[in-house]
Amino acid sequence: MDTHSKVVRALQNLSRDKDLLNLDKLFACDAKRNDWLFKSWEQFTFDFTKQLVSKEILTGLLELAESRKLKNRISGLIAGKPVNTSEDRPALHTALRMPKSKSLVVNQTNVVADVHGSLERVKGIVDKIHSGQWRGYSGKPITDIVNIGVGGSDLGPFMVTNALKDFQADWKNHLDFHFVSSMDGTQIFKLLETLNPETCLFIISSKSFTTIDTFYNANTAMEWMLGACPDKSLVVKQHFIGVSASPDKMNEWGIAADNQLLFWDWVGGRFSLWSAIGLPIALSVGMDNFEALLSGAHEMDKQFATAPFEDNIPVLLGLIGVWNATFLNINAHTVLPYDGRLQFLPNYLTQLEMESNGKAVTMDGKKVEYKTCPILWGDIGPNAQHAFYQLLHQGTQKVSCDFIAPINRYHDTSNGAGTDEFLIKQHKLSLANCLAQSRVLAFGNKAVSDDENLPAHKFYNGNQPSTTILMDELNPYTLGSLIALYEHKVFVMASIWGINPFDQWGVELGKVIAGELLDAIQGDPPAKNLDISTQTLLDTIKNKA
Ligand SMILES: O=P(O)(O)OC[C@H]1O[C@](O)(CO)[C@@H](O)[C@@H]1O
């Protein structure tokens, strides 16, 4: 982004207009603000009115998108152009949810055909496990699925499996799902104590199939299995599935050929839940629901590819994100779902946004002269109200917020007489809190009174910008759309900033140094040239271990 360009300078000028950038005033000046900042799309309603934007600002942001050739960038992404410039490859997560009837030829290959071939294999495995045909070494059907993976090979399937628990069908009676990611062993050791090796199936999920965190956990699982059944070829065949973009590495580790599910180097790890990495999702909610998740995402892809920018939800969300982070210097963003099923969405978005856009150089290697990705965190909104909302309301930091809530819930629940009504009341309580919080964040005390004589500690400043996303209900289809929306938001922001959202070089150095320090902790060879802090920490560990 050229900070000297006319469009950027105009936006910078607007960003200094303190008088304009006040939600009270923005609402007072334009009583019909909702006409142009409320958007309905499919089963969603988006309220951007509580963002610090005027018509002039939005026009400027749309011009900025134009000047950054966003339209071309979006078509390049979807057509499979090498948008991941540092690795010279496409980022084709949109192809993972294209219908079978479509075709997309990239490097002489119809990737849509490959995608559906892989989905067929996923379906075959799902059917075998659901029907009880897939059996453990002693002939018993599988009861426990353990996904071992980290980052994109964990967060997406984990988040979606939790969000869609209501959509598990009759196999829920005989299948339990577990996710192991942490390298320190806490999760795997605790989990193995509760499992029966005869009926466990491990899914080793790793795009690279080299991530050390995953392989320490996988090796522990293998040792545990071999303790129960020393016949390794039987264990490998009946208890381990591999999901990866590297068949060679899967062979090396010993995954049986029939148990290897492949995806492709053109799928970024944090964009991979739609591929075979989503196997735990498909096992949990069934293939039809998994396909509904893909269709919901595809619908959002179509809107991203075709809607005019002023009505294009991912474009608006991304442009407003850039306005907040880059022009208004709001460097913290929180995601607040008002529905416990979305508990892990903020965590998932932490990787999606910060690993994608936490960068300071442009695609042509220049240092950026502006702020890029804000720090993102979040929690279930109602719980966060009792934890960090104090800072949002009365702290010294500017924070932008996304409120997310399904309008309807519990209508189909039949947990006994009267229960539905009670649960619906609880859901409405949550919705009321969602609206109350965005209102107070926007208008402070003025939301309820004009009393100027409040003691200072009771004063709420307001003017914290937020977007509210309402979905008619949370189901596989709407969840697919919601996730795809955030994926595209990331791409829009990266395109404006001129950065590559599809690599993650910033995680590599730590891996190399950890390898050296592991050798040093194990005493062989002793570490050389360490800084005094690390050397003393290492000595302390070695003395006390
Ligand atoms: O799927 P893999 O190759 O094991 O990688 C896991 C995660 O590690 C990272 O490469 C970061 O270290 C993420 O981008 C990725 O999602």
Note down pLDDT in tens along the chain; length 545 residues: 999 999 999 999 999 998 899 999 999 999 999 999 999 999 999 999 999 999 999 999 999 999 999 999 999 999 999 999 999 999 999 999 999 999 999 999 999 999 999 999 999 999 999 999 999 999 999 999 999 999 999 999 999 999 999 998 765 568 999 999 999 999 999 999 999 999 999 999 999 999 999 999 999 999 999 999 999 999 999 999 999 999 999 999 999 999 999 999 999 999 999 999 999 999 999 999 999 999 999 999 999 999 999 999 999 999 999 999 999 999 999 999 999 999 999 999 999 999 999 999 999 999 999 999 999 999 999 999 999 999 999 999 999 999 999 999 987 655 555 567 888 899 999 999 999 999 999 999 988 888 878 899 999 999 999 999 999 999 999 999 999 999 999 999 999 999 999 999 999 999 989 988 998 898 777 778 899 999 999 999 999 98
Amino acid symbol at 296: G
Contact 25, 75 (CB under 8 A): no
H or E element: which one contains 190?
A: helix 186-194
Per-residue tokens: 200: 């466990």
Amino acid symbol at 503: D
Going from N- to C-terminal start, the domains of the chain cover: 3-67+307-497, 100-288, 505-544
212 lines ligand 1 (CB under 6 A): no
Instruction: Report which protein residue has its CA nearest ligand 1's atom 12.
Output: 507
211 CA from centroid of ligand 1 (Å): 7
Q: Give 324's DSSP letter.
A: I
273 lines ligand 1 (CB under 6 A): no
Strand order in the sheet with 44-47: 38-41, 44-47, 466-473, 400-408, 332-337, 375-378
Cα–Cα distance between 233 and 290 in angstroms, integer? Answer: 31
179 CA from centroid of ligand 1 (Å): 15
Cα-based angle 141, 146, 151 (whole degrees, multiple of 5): 155
> Is 488 an annotated catalytic residue?
no
pTM: 0.97
Alpha carbons within 13 angstroms on the beta-carbon side of residue 143 total 10
Q: Is 200 exposed, middle or buried (0-12, 13-18, 19+ CB in 10 A)?
A: buried
If you write DSSP's letter for every residue of 446-487 in order, what string do you get? Answer: GGT---TT--GGG-------EEEEEEEE--HHHHHHHHHHHH
Which among 4, 11, 34 is positioned nearest to 320, based on CA atoms?
A: 11
Contact 146, 194 (CB under 8 A): no
Cα-based torsion angle of the residue sequence 76, 467, 433, 481 in order, rounded to the nearest 10 degrees:
-20
Pocket probe for ligand 1: among 180, 248, 504, the residue whose CB has the most ligand atoms within 8 Å is: 504
Using alpha carbons, list the distances in angstroms from residue 395 to 334, 371, 389, 391. 14, 21, 9, 4
Helix axes 70-79, 55-67, angle to 10 degrees: 50
> Is 473 an annotated catalytic residue?
no
188 CA from centroid of ligand 1 (Å): 19
Q: Which atom of ligand 1 is nearest to the CA of 272?
A: 16
Q: What pLDDT, on a 0 to 100 scale, did the predictor assign at position 446?
A: 86
Per-residue tokens: 119: 């989905």
Contact 476, 289 (CB under 8 A): yes
Pocket probe for ligand 1: among 207, 214, 350, 503, the residue whose CB has the most ligand atoms within 8 Å is: 207
Q: Which overall architecture, per CATH, does domain 3-67+307-497 show? A: 3-Layer(aba) Sandwich (3.40)
Cα four-point dihedral sign 164, 345, 407, 493: negative
Q: What pLDDT, on a 0 to 100 scale, did the predictor assign at position 276?
A: 98
Cα four-point dihedral sign 304, 321, 46, 289: positive
Neighbour count for residue 382 (Cβ, 10 Å): 18
Q: So what's the ipTM on this one?
A: 0.98
Go through 120-154 and write b for each residue having 16 or more CB atoms within 10 A of its CB, e for each that does not: ebbeebbeebbeeebebbeeebbbbbbbbbbbbbb
Using alpha carbons, list the distances in angstroms from residue 212 to 182, 192, 512, 518. 11, 19, 11, 12
Instruction: Report which protein residue has its CA nearest ligand 1's atom 8.
Output: 151
Q: What pLDDT, on a 0 to 100 scale, did the predictor assign at position 289?
A: 96
Instruction: Report which protein residue has its CA nearest ligand 1's atom 11.
Output: 507
259 lines ligand 1 (CB under 6 A): no
Neighbour count for residue 426 (Cβ, 10 Å): 11
Alpha carbons within 13 angstroms on the beta-carbon side of residue 112 total 14
Instruction: Report which protein residue has its CA nearest ligand 1's atom 2.
Output: 206
Same fold, 3-67+307-497 and 100-288: yes
213 CA from centroid of ligand 1 (Å): 10
Q: Taking the mean position of all CA atoms in its chain, how far away is CA 141? A: 33
465 lines ligand 1 (CB under 6 A): no
Place of tokens 């900042």: 37
Go through 177-189 and write b for each residue having 16 or more CB atoms within 10 A of its CB, e for each that does not: bbbbbebeeebbe
Instruction: Report which protein residue has its CA nearest ligand 1's atom 14.
Output: 269
Q: Which atom of ligand 1 is nearest to the CA of 269?
A: 16
483 CA from centroid of ligand 1 (Å): 19
Q: Which overall architecture, per CATH, does domain 100-288 show? A: 3-Layer(aba) Sandwich (3.40)
Amino acid symbol at 516: E
Cα–Cα distance between 91 and 85 in angstroms, integer? Answer: 10
> Is 511 an annotated catalytic residue?
yes
218 CA from centroid of ligand 1 (Å): 15
H or E element: which one contains 34?
A: helix 33-37
Cα-based torsion angle of the residue sequence 117, 122, 123, 126 in order, rounded to the nearest 10 degrees:
170
Using alpha carbons, list the distances in angstroms from residue 7 to 1, 13, 14, 63, 387. 10, 10, 11, 7, 40
Catalytic residue among 18, 32, 367, 386: 386
Radius of gyration of the chain (CA): 25
Cα–Cα distance between 445 and 393 in angstroms, integer? Answer: 10
Omega of the bond prior to 525 within 30 degrees of 0, cis?
A: yes
Cα-based angle 15, 18, 20 (whole degrees, multiple of 5): 80
Contact 247, 260 (CB under 8 A): yes
415 CA from centroid of ligand 1 (Å): 41
Catalytic residue among 252, 511, 516, 542: 511
Q: Which atom of ligand 1 is nearest to the CA of 213?
A: 4
Contact 167, 225 (CB under 8 A): no
Q: Give 368's DSSP letter.
A: P
53 lines ligand 1 (CB under 6 A): no
244 lines ligand 1 (CB under 6 A): no
Q: Which atom of ligand 1 is nearest to the CA of 244?
A: 1
Contact 338, 431 (CB under 8 A): yes
Catalytic residue among 355, 427, 488, 489: 355
154 CA from centroid of ligand 1 (Å): 9
Please list, in sequence order, all residues whose beta carbon lies within 8 angstroms of the beta carbon of residue 424, skipping any fewer than 6 positions away: 409, 410, 411
